[in-house]
């Protein structure tokens, strides 16, 4: 199984390398932590990462501002993806899902301002709001897409049925569900994405495989002179050509380790051994 990281075209249009970067773990506070976060983001771009994932929920907008500070003006080949539909009613309050069209419209406008851009190429629903008709939630995003403020629309943490229903209203370019070598809960969603050519962005792509005391992962890692985290990413990349993992880290060393996983080659036999772990 000689699968390199390669590229994938989001929405059939925007080519990205199949190892992205999730910005959630980056510290946003000012001072040394922020400078370190900026260094990680810039190093990711230097290493060829072309998809960076953020969200309003990550620091309640501060993470988006961090990306803009680090990377604006954005390189032409870098796709910044962000997410909406989560709110914090008051400082310190728990996050709440909000899919009301007027709220989503305002969140998109605020994200455009924080990211210093006139168009968000990949705008994702962080969660669907069960209290609001799905057609209303996605309808406002389609209007913003028609206005040129959104390029492509994605979903997060959806079922196969929700994905099918959403596709009756908009063209879905990506799905971001939790999925990794040891957590296959959304296997059927990945299969649906693969069948439709929709990008599948697994969040938490490395944990818990990187820390699990699993003899098979350790054995394959030793055979390839790699880390457990790299093996977990290599398995994901080989799982389907629509998979675009977005591992996150606040460490340049871990970032470089993750990116290097794109060059690993699992043999058919190694992939089957790893695949069998999650099937047990």
**pLDDT for residue 3:** 42
Report the share of the chain in percent with pLDDT over 90: 91
On whether residue 246 sits in a domain, the answer given is yes
Asked whether residue 122 is assigned to any structural domain, the reply reads yes
Residue with tokens 């470089």: 256
The pLDDT assigned to 247 comes to 97
d(CA 184, CA 69): 36
* Inside any domain, residue 64: yes
Which residue has tokens 């709001």? Answer: 129
Is residue 220, in this structure, part of any structural domain at all? no
- What's 247's domain CATH number? 3.20.20.100
pLDDT score, position 214: 84
* pLDDT over threshold 70, residue 264: yes
Does 25 reside within a domain? yes
Domain boundaries, position 142: 7-206+239-262
Q: Is 2's pLDDT higher than 70?
A: no
Q: Left if phi > 0, otherwise alpha if psi is -120 to 50, otherwise beta: which for 261? A: alpha
pLDDT at 208: 76
Whether 233 has a pLDDT exceeding 90, the answer reads: yes
Hey, which residues are catalytic here? 58
Asked if the model's pLDDT at residue 67 lies above 70, the reply is yes
For residue 93, what pLDDT is reported? 81
Q: Residue 31 class from Cβ within 10 Å (0-12 exposed, 13-18 middle, 19+ buried)?
A: exposed
**34: in domain:** yes
pLDDT of 103 > 80? The answer is yes
């Amino acid at each position: 199984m000689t699968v390199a990281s390669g590229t994938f075209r989001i929405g059939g249009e925007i080519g990205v390398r199949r190892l992205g970067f999730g910005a959630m773990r980056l510290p946003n506070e000012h001072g040394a932590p922020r400078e370190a976060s900026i260094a990680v983001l810039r190093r990711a771009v230097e290493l060829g990462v072309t998809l960076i994932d953020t969200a309003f929920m990550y620091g309640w907008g501060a993470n988006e501002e961090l990306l803009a500070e680090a990377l604006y003006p954005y390189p032409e080949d870098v796709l910044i993806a962000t997410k909406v539909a989560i709110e914090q009613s008051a400082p310190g309050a728990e996050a709440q899902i909000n899919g009301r069209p007027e709220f989503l419209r305002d969140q998109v406008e605020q994200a455009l301002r924080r990211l210093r851009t006139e168009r968000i190429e990949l705008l994702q629903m962080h969660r669907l709001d069960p209290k609001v008709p799905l057609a209303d939630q996605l309808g406002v995003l389609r209007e913003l897409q028609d206005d040129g403020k959104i390029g492509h629309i994605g979903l997060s943490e959806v079922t196969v049925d929700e994905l099918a229903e959403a596709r009756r209203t908009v063209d879905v370019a990506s799905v971001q569900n939790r999925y990794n070598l040891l957590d296959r809960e959304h296997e059927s969603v990945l299969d649906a994405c693969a069948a439709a050519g929709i990008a599948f962005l697994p969040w938490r792509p490395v944990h818990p495989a990187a820390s699990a005391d699993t003899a098979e992962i350790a054995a394959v890692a030793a055979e390839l002179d790699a880390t457990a985290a790299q093996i977990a990413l290599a398995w994901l990349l080989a799982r389907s050509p629509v998979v675009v993992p977005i591992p996150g880290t606040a460490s340049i060393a871990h970032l470089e380790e993750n990116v290097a996983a794109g060059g690993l080659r699992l043999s058919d036999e190694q992939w089957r051994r790893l695949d069998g772990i999650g099937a047990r």
